């Protein structure tokens, strides 16, 4: 079961999304549909416990190139 670590998958997905986002931003002027993006996630919410505050939130901005990067990163993980 070589290369099946969830940590490796997470790293590959983050790197794939980052590379895809950069490519989408760079080529957005040439290929306009690569620049169209959608934000998904949870808006930040604060839990106030009087002695401490905890903020939860997660937002991800996806465009077509970053989705392609995620897909290619997953395929790389499967080939390991």
Residue 1 forms part of a structural domain: no
What's the pLDDT score for residue 61?
86
For residue range 8-36, list pLDDT tens digits in order.
Answer: 999 999 999 999 999 998 998 899 888 88
pLDDT at residue 1 tops 90: no
- Predicted local confidence at residue 55, as pLDDT: 95
Domain total in the chain = 1
pTM for the model: 0.76
Structural domain of residue 61, as residue ranges?
6-79
18 part of a folded domain: yes
Percent of the chain with pLDDT over 90: 61
* H/E stretch holding 3: none
Q: Do 52 and 13 touch, CB atoms closer than 8 A? A: no
């Amino acid at each position: 079961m070589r290369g099946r670590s969830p940590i490796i998958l997470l790293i590959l997905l983050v790197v794939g999304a980052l590379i895809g986002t950069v490519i989408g931003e760079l080529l957005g002027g040439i290929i306009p549909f690569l620049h169209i993006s959608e934000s998904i996630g949870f808006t930040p919410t604060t839990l106030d416990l009087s002695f401490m505050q905890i903020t939860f939130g997660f937002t991800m901005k996806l465009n077509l190139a970053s989705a392609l990067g995620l897909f290619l990163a997953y395929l790389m993980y499967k080939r390991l």
